[in-house]
Amino acid sequence: MPSLLLLNGPNLNLLGTREPEVYGTETLDDVVALVRATAAELGFSVDALQSNHEGVLIDAIHAARSTASAIVINPGGLTHTSVALRDALTGVALPFAEVHVSDVHARESFRHHSYLSDVATVVVVGEGVAGYGRAVRELVSGLPTG
């Protein structure tokens, strides 16, 4: 069965309790369950990882070269700071979806720039946890079949 890698970056382990007025009350477990259910409907399995450490995320991206068909990533605050994360994603040449629970463009100005959006296959912003499901569907629909 083809596989997707689901990555969630710094502070996303706090979903459901961190600033619920911004991020909602659904948890990271809810995210993983949604992504797994959506992917399963489309014939994909999911490996999921959350880390507050950039290097752990980069190592997972490198390893995905031989295990995954595509990546779904919410890089959290690394979106706005990490050239290294961008380089890892472009370096493995896997299609990827960038997801943000909140509308980063309606928030502080430093959140308006993403180092990933211009190289992402799919970008979903501001749809809450449900945005992960849309990201999976759009990403998978663009993958080669067979």
Residue tagged 């991206």 (tokens) = 61
Please check whether residue 12 is in contact with residue 76, taking contact to mean a CB–CB distance below 8 angstroms. Answer: yes
How many Cβ atoms from other residues are within 10 Å of residue 88's Cβ? Answer: 20
Active site residues per annotation: 23, 100
Alpha helices in 28-99 (DSSP H): 28-41, 54-64, 83-92
28-41 helix and 130-141 helix, angle to the nearest 10 degrees: 30
Contacts (Cβ under 8 Å, ≥6 apart) of 95: 69, 70, 71, 121, 122, 139, 142, 143
Give the integer Cα–Cα distance in Å for 55 and 76: 14
